[in-house]
Amino acid sequence: MKITARIKPHPIREIVIDTDYIRLDAALKLADLVQSGGHAKVVITEEQVKVNGETCTMRGKKLREGDTATFQGIDVVVKKRKE
């Protein structure tokens, strides 16, 4: 008997920034994963968010192009607008 498993990839949302970085709480709001800055603060301090695969509790964490934040199984990838 052969057993196979299929792993669903995380849904991905891309956010595009014009600056060098975006704060983690602002990125979650921009990606529509939280309702407000207060909501972002709660989920971040309760260790529900990962940045580049590691749990992050700093809501002011600077995300730069190529960084990924994950919340509730959804990946948020930061892209920088090309000039």
Q: What is the domain-level CATH number for residue 23? A: 3.10.290.10
Domain count, the chain: 1
Q: Is 33 helix (H, G, I), strand (E, B) or coil?
A: coil
Q: Look at residue 6 and tell me if it is in a domain.
A: no
For residue 5, is it within any domain? no
Is residue 70 in some structural domain?
A: yes
Flag whether 38 is in a domain: yes
N-to-C CA span, the chain: 55
Question: What pLDDT is attached to residue 82?
Answer: 83
Residue 17 lies in a domain: yes
Q: Is residue 4 part of a domain?
A: no
In a domain, 2, yes or no: no
pLDDT of residue 3: 72
Per-residue pLDDT 10s for the chain (83 aa) are: 677 766 667 789 999 999 999 999 999 999 999 999 999 999 999 999 999 999 999 999 999 999 999 999 999 999 998 87
User: Domain range for residue 37?
Assistant: 12-80
Contact yes or no for 68/77 (Cβ under 8 A):
yes
1 in a domain, yes or no?
A: no
pTM (predicted TM-score)? 0.85
